[in-house]
Chain A
Amino acid sequence: MRARLARPAFTLLLAWLVLYPVAIVVADSVRGDAVATFVSRPGEWGALWASLWISLASVALAAAIGVPLAFLFEWLEFPGRKALGSLIALPAVLPPFVGVLAFLFLYGESGFVARAVQAVFGLRGPPWRLQGAGAILLVHAYSMYVYFYLLTRAGLAKLDASMLEAAHALGAGRWETLRRVTFPLLRPSLAGAALLVFMTALGSFSAPYVFGGGFRVMTTQIVATKLNGELPLAMVETVALALVAALGLALLRRTEGDELLAALGKGAAPPRRPIRRAPIRALAATAGWLFTVLLLLPHLTLALVSLVPYSSWTTEALPPVLSFVNYQRLFGEPERLRPLVNSLWMAAASTLGAVALALAAGALARGQRAPRAPRAPRALHAPSPRDRWRGPIETLIALPWALPGTVFAIALTTTFSVHAPLALRWVLVGTVFLLPLAYLVRNLPITGRAVLAGYRQLDPALAEAAASLGAGRWTTFRRVTLPLLRPALAAGGSLAFVAALGDFVTSIVLYTYDNRPISIEIMSSLRLNELGVAAAFGVILMLVSALVLGFGARR
């Protein structure tokens, strides 16, 4: 009986966490005249349109950088290929807000590049302002090409060389093979990357917030509206953004197609072609190194600025004084250390919660055949409870991914600002619990995806083997399932932790003074013009993220 209730109860819990807040926002938004206000203001339509075209342009730019790089590193052999190949994925380690910060210090109007140009040409003012759509696209292209790069490389590595050879043998030239065989086979990878970039760009908040200026996209528009106190309008905006996200998801899912490559046996990937002509080889290597340096520049800039003491750097092209004083202040003053501690505990707690929920989802939706007492036979063709609840559980786990962070932030504030226990609503706004709860919900797709994939790869015979050796349900879970899921748990958990640690978009809507996270502290340091402290926080965030991701990738 208990087991029979477990699946519906768990599905309801997920629905309450994931679906209920969004439903409340949708219901609230259609009440009153907020919809009319939304429709009548051209600014709203402008922001919505801006969100859409920025996202599409981000996909195009990220593909234009990521796909050629993937071919370069997967198909050609040149000096330094291996080291560069992994360095090139580095932007993934940079939390979005820290990346924006680094760009500001590097390419902003008082950044290193602008100062250098100013000094070289003897200009009186900064040569440019890093603002508007162009600046947002620059940051997006930098931080999102990684999706195309990694997924295309993975797709290329899975390609069967004999298919390309078959095309050649049938008379297709190199370009024709690329167009008629390679790209169609890569379609799932490319569509997957496009989807990732589109969704990330649509939900992107940090870059538009810092560089947008007067240029508004929907995410920044929502936060601005909320700060203006027009909560009903913010809800309508939230629903509009969610609709665009759902539309994009549906369209891109359709083009994704089936996993063709998986179905077609395993052949060896084509061998890497060494570049024979020395000048071209040197050119490829140089270009590779230059590009890597370009990619690493934001990280280096951040590290450098974190060493600049307060107000010691004014008009010089390079900072005149470097010291560790920012780090000393950060670790010496309890008030400064607070955000770091806050971020760490909130990330840890939300990750633990998200991992636990993912494990429960895996066990209930994908768990292996129950090695327990046979029960009365079911009616013919009746699906097992596991099969019946699998769809709802997996959909609910994945749903937060389809909605921008701002949407969830607004949904959670709305839901948990009312005391109505019978409607399962409590006042959490203003408490320290709402933000970690938001992190948890946002991270469910990350841990869920990893754990569910881990469960799918488990051989069901292993649980049966354990049962035949006398192990009960719990023993089998503890001694067989859990150890085998360890890599999946580590990977999903570390990704979720890093995402929560660097979060800005939900934090800015939901933080309180008592649980202000690092990203909020960075923003206030910037406002106070304490660039060094802001950069020091950024460096710490980056290092902890890299450390945790490294741990998660360990086998």
Chain B
Amino acid sequence: MTPFVLLDGVHKQWSPTVRVGPLLLGIPRGEIVALLGPSGSGKTTVLRLLAGFEAPDAGRLVIDGEDVTAVPPARRRCGMVFQHYALFPHLDVGGNVAFGLKGSPEPGAAGQKVAEVLALVGLAGFEGRKVQELSGGQQQRVALARALAPEPRVLLLDEPLSNLDPTLRERTRRELRALIKRVGITTLFVTHEQEEAFDLGDRVAVLNDGRLEQVGAADELYERPASLFVATFVGRANVVRGGGATARALGAHDGEVLVVRPERLRFADAGLPGTVRERRYTGAAAFYQVETERGERLEVLAGPEAARVGDRVYLEPAGVLTFPEERA
């Protein structure tokens, strides 16, 4: 099956050292893909390339079988929610949402559509409100309603939740996913928070230094990371370089890098010896910093009463990921 959205060898070079791509990414119709990566990895550039605000140096952008690489943004039909929402300050909520609707044949239809979309985002009756008077969460929903109103083919979200306070963020995240699924629109959204990407996205695309490291479901990324970068960027990880006693004790060969998740290290009667230096209590469990005899620090997730600071312990790995050294 051909994907609904396709970035085919898309490449953009800013300077000899800063570039994005070449990227190959296909998104089936109706899927939500989270673009996850550290700041500066090129996430937003990918979004802007798709929206048409940047032109690729090479490659093709295809939406619904149409090559849109040379189509101006105004005719790409990509709805976009900007990081700071970019609501028009001189228009009220209704005016903002109706902006993309003007030019529709019958005038009454626009008003009806505005009401419909506002109801969809839970802001029914807000048409006459000034955007400056709305809370951050409401502004975000107006921006979403505005993007959805012209019924775009693709929805693009640039860090849509980063301007909300943490408690609101988690609830909004669930609502946002439910809403997108209800509309059924193909969605690409950018985030630098792993939890957000896992929660919202059907699949997650990890971007590093302008390159796609891996695309897959959340558990796939966590359990079977394709690279050392993905292993360390997604979830907590202990990294042990090959060649040392610690690496050997954990079963590594020369030229390999080991990654062990904290929950995959157990306190045992025998194994890698070390001393507990720190204990960070989180309620149901605790994180322990264990110093090996060679001075390396390893993080262990275990029961809250499993050890005390100063205890001499032995560690046993229950699952180790190995990567070749040169990829590090």
Determine if A483 and B150 form an interchain contact, defined as CB atoms under 8 angstroms apart. Answer: no
Flag if A468 contacts B88 (CB, 8 Å): no
Binds B, one of A169-177, A427-435, A457-465: A457-465
A528 at the interface (CB under 8 A from B): no
The answer to whether B69 and A377 have CB atoms under 8 Å apart is no
Interface hits, A382-415 → B, CB 8 Å = none
Task: Check A380 for interface membership: any CB of B closer than 8 A.
Answer: yes
B75-83, B214-222, B243-251 - interface stretch: B75-83
Determine if A467 and B52 form an interchain contact, defined as CB atoms under 8 angstroms apart.
Answer: yes
In the docked arrangement, what's the CA distance between A479 and B98, Å?
A: 12
- Please, what's the 1-or-0 string for A463-484, where 1 marks a CB less than 8 Å from any CB in chain B? 0111111111000000110011
Across the interface, name the chain A residue whose C-beta is closest to B61: A374
What is the CA–CA distance of A414 and B75 in the complex, to the nearest angstrom?
52
Q: Are B150 and A371 within 8 A (Cβ)? A: no
Among A464, A469, A486, which residue has its beta carbon within 8 angstroms of that of B100?
A469
Q: Is A276 an interface residue (CB 8 A)?
A: no
Chain B positions near chain A (C-beta within 8 angstroms): 13-16, 51-57, 69-80, 82-84, 86-90, 99-100, 103, 146-147, 150, 156
Q: Can you list 10 A-B pairs, Cβ within 8 angstroms, ordered by A?
A: A371-B73, A373-B70, A374-B72, A377-B55, A461-B83, A464-B51, A466-B88, A468-B73, A469-B146, A471-B74
Q: How far, in Å, is A459 (CB) from chain B's closest CB?
A: 6
- Known contacts: A464-B80, A470-B74. The answer to whether A371 contacts B53 by CB under 8 A is yes
Interface size on A, residues (CB 8 A): 27
Given A374-B69, A381-B15 in contact, is the A471-B82 Cβ separation under 8 Å?
no
A465 contacts across to B, CB distance below 8 A? 80, 82, 86-88, 146
Q: Is A369 an interface residue (CB 8 A)?
A: yes
CB contacts (< 8 Å) of A466 on chain B: these are 88, 99
How long is the Cα–Cα vector from A377 to B87 in the complex, in angstroms? 30
The smallest beta-carbon distance between B47 and chain A, in angstroms, is 11
CB distance from A194 to the nearest CB of B (A): 35
Tell me the bound Cα distance from A484 to B150 in angstroms.
23
Residue of B56, B83, B88, B146 ringed by the most chain A CB atoms within 10 A:
B88
Q: Which residue of A374, A459, A467, A480 contacts B74 across the interface (Cβ within 8 Å)?
A: A467
Residues of chain A within 8 A of B150, CB atoms compared: 469-470
Q: Provide the bound-state CA to CA distance between A374 and B88, in Å.
A: 24
Q: Is the CB of A479 within 8 A of B99?
A: yes
For the complex of A and B, the 6 pairs showing the least CB-CB separation, nearest first, are A374-B55, A469-B100, A461-B86, A467-B73, A465-B86, A373-B72
Q: Which residues of B contact A464 (CB under 8 A)?
A: 51, 53, 73, 80, 82, 86
A41 within 8 A of partner (CB): no
**Chain A residues whose C-beta falls within 8 Å of the C-beta of B77 in the assembled complex:** 470
| Cα–Cα, bound, A527→B99 (Å) | 61
Among A461, A465, A479, A480, max chain B CB count under 10 A is at A465
Q: A375-B55, A484-B90 are in contact. Are A472 and B74 (CB under 8 A)?
A: yes
Task: Provide the bound-state CA to CA distance between A484 and B99, in Å.
Answer: 15
For chain A residues 41-56, which have a beta carbon within 8 Å of chain B? none
Once A467-B52, A479-B99 are accepted as A-B contacts, the answer to whether A377 and B57 lie under 8 Å apart by CB is: yes
A372 contacts B by Cβ under 8 Å = yes
B51 with A374: CB separation less than 8 A: no
B163 to chain A, nearest CB (A): 13
Task: Give A462 to B88 CA distance when docked, in angstroms.
Answer: 7
Instruction: Tell which of B14, B77, B90 has the most Cβ of chain A within 10 Å.
Output: B90
In the assembled complex, the Cα of A462 lies from the Cα of B89 at a distance in Å of 9
- CB–CB A483/B90 < 8 A: yes
Inter-chain CA distance A373–B52, complex, in Å, is 8
- B90-A461 in contact (CB<8A): no
A468 touches B147 (CB 8 A): yes
The answer to whether A380 touches B70, judged by C-beta atoms less than 8 angstroms apart, is no
**Chain A residues, Cβ within 8 Å of B15:** 380-381
Q: Which of A16-47 touch B at CB < 8 Å?
A: none
Per-position binary interface string of chain A over residues 353-382, scored 1 when its CB falls under 8 Å from any chain B CB and 0 otherwise: 000000000000000010111111100110
Q: Which residues of A contact B53 (CB under 8 A)?
A: 369, 371, 464, 467
Chain A residues within an 8 Å CB radius of B156:
468
Q: Could you tell me the distance in whole angstroms from the C-beta of A487 to the nearest C-beta in chain B?
A: 10
Closest Cβ neighbor of A374 among chain B residues = B55
The distance from the CB of B137 to the nearest CB of chain A, in whole angstroms, is 19
Separation in Å of the A128 CB from the closest CB of chain B?
Answer: 56
Separation of A471 and B101 alpha carbons in the complex (Å):
10
Nearest-Cβ distance from residue A368 to partner chain B, whole angstroms = 10
Taking a contact as CB atoms under 8 Å apart, the answer to whether A374 and B54 are in contact is yes
- Residues of chain B lying within 8 A (CB to CB) of residue A462: 86, 88
Bound: A245/B283 CA distance, A:
73
Given contacts A374-B55, A374-B70, A381-B15, contact A468 B78 (CB under 8 A): yes
CB distance from A494 to the nearest CB of B (A): 20
Q: Are A480 and B72 in contact (CB under 8 A)?
A: no
Q: Provide the residues of chain B in CB contact with A461, threshold 8 Å.
A: 82-84, 86
B99, A469: Cβ atoms closer than 8 Å: yes
Q: Please judge, given known A-B contacts A371-B72, A459-B86, whether A468 and B79 are in contact too, CB under 8 Å.
A: yes
**Is the beta-carbon distance between B73 and A484 smaller than 8 angstroms?**
no
Q: Mark A501-524, 1 if CB is under 8 A from B, else 0.
A: 000000000000000000000000
Chain B residues lying within 8 Å of A467, measured Cβ to Cβ, are: 52-53, 72-74
Known: A465-B82, A465-B88. A470 touches B75 (CB 8 A): yes
